[in-house]
Amino acid sequence: MARVLITGGTGFIGTHLTRRCIAQGHRVTVMALPGDPGIPNVATWPCDVVTGDIGDGALMETLCQGHEIVFHCAAVVSDWAPRALFNRVNVTGMENVCRAALRAGVRRLVEISTNDIFGLREDVVMDESFPLEPWGEPYPDTKIAATRIAWRYHREHGLPVTMVFPCWVYGPGDKTFVPLTADAIVKGEMLFWRRDVLVWPTFVGNLVDLLILISERDEAVGQGYLVHDGEATTFQEFCRGIAAALDVAPPKLHIPYGAAYAAAWLMEAAWRILGIEVRPLLTTYSVKNLGSRLQFSIAKARRELGWEPAVSYAQGFAETMAWLKRQDLTSLKGK
C-alpha cells in the first residue's frame, strides 16, 4: 500500500477519493483549508488531516515529503470568485504542488483538470488531442494555465504527471452543480437560453475509479484522459429529472441567448461595483457553459486502460436524487 496525499480532500471529489483510498489500505493524508466545513467529518476517518493554503509553497514541500502518490484535487471551481483567488489556488497552487512533488520524488502526481480546457467548439467530437482554448473566463482559463504548468514539469523535469479531464461531475455529496440547479428549480428561478443543450454527466464514483486506475498504471504517465458516464443528456432533461425527484414543477421558461448573456454581463458589472460577494443569478460563464452543445469522447481511457464507467448515468442519477431528497438545499450550495 502507498502513502497518499490528497489536496482538497475534504471537498466533493476529494472525500469520495479519500474514502476509496482508505478502503484500499493506503495511508492517507488529507490537506484542507483551515476552517473547511468538511474537516470534522473527514477527521473521524482513519487518515491524517492537515490544514494549510495551497498557495504556500514551503508548506507544500513539507507535505509532499514521504508521499508516493499525490492527488491534486484542490481548486477554485466556481463561476463567481475574485480573479486573484483563482490565480492563487488554480495557478500558483499547481506550480507549488508540481515543484513539491518533484523534490519529494513522488511516483505519481494525478491532477484533476476539466473538459473546459478544450474550449467551446460544437462542430467536432473533442478528445484529448485538441488544443487548449481559452474561454475568457477565470475558471477554465486558470485551469488551462495549471494544465500547461503540469505538462511543463513533466516535459522538462520528468515529473510523473497524469491528468483527468472530467465533464459534469455529480453524485452524493455534490456542493455545486446539482444543489445550485435544484435550488433554482425549487425557487422557480431556473430558465434556459438555448434548447437541447448537451451535458456529459460524470458520476463521482466513475471518476474515482479512473483516478485510482491512472495512479497505478505506468502507461498513464504523461497522459490525460477525458471522463464521463459514456452518454450525454440535455440540460433540460436533467432539470426535469431533478424537478420530478423533488416533486416540483419542471422549469420551462426560455429566453434568447443574447439576452441571457447581456443580463449576466450587466449583473456581474453591478455586483463588482457594489462589492457583492454572493454570486449573481446569471454569470457569463454559466451562460456559455449551459448554452453549448459540446461533444466529448472517452475512447482513449477505454482503449489504453480498459476503463469503462461502472455506474450508468441512469443509476448514478437515481442515487444522486435519493441523496438530494434527504438534504436541506439551503445548506448545500457551495459556490
- Give the domain ranges of the chain: 3-175+201-229+295-313
CB atoms within 10 A of CB 291: 16
- Cα 182 to Cα 324: distance, rounded to the nearest angstrom: 9
Helices (H), the chain: 12-23, 39-42, 57-64, 83-86, 93-104, 138-157, 177-186, 204-216, 235-246, 257-274, 284-289, 299-305, 313-324
Amino acid 327: pLDDT: 86
The tens digit of pLDDT for each residue in 48-70 reads: 999 999 999 999 999 999 999 99
pLDDT category of residue 335 using cuts at 50, 70 and 90: very low
**334, pLDDT greater than 60:** no
Q: Which three cell numbers stand for residue 6?
A: 490528497
pLDDT category of residue 1 using cuts at 50, 70 and 90: confident
**333, pLDDT greater than 70:** no
Average the pLDDT over 204-225 and give the result.
Answer: 98
Amino acid 330: pLDDT: 67
Residue 71 · residue 4 · CB < 8 Å: yes
Residue 256 has φ and ψ, to the nearest 5°, of: -65, 145
The tens digit of pLDDT for each residue in 69-83 reads: 999 999 999 999 999
Average the pLDDT over 268-290 and give the result.
Answer: 94
- Cα 96 to Cα 114: distance, rounded to the nearest angstrom: 19
C-alpha of 101 from chain center: 21
Average the pLDDT over 293-299 and give the result.
Answer: 98
The CATH topology of domain 3-175+201-229+295-313 is Rossmann fold (3.40.50)
The tens digit of pLDDT for each residue in 106-165 reads: 999 999 999 999 999 999 999 999 999 999 999 999 999 999 999 999 999 999 999 999
Amino acid 332: pLDDT: 54
Nearest to 232 by CA among 203, 201, 210, 206: 201
The tens digit of pLDDT for each residue in 298-310 reads: 999 999 999 999 9
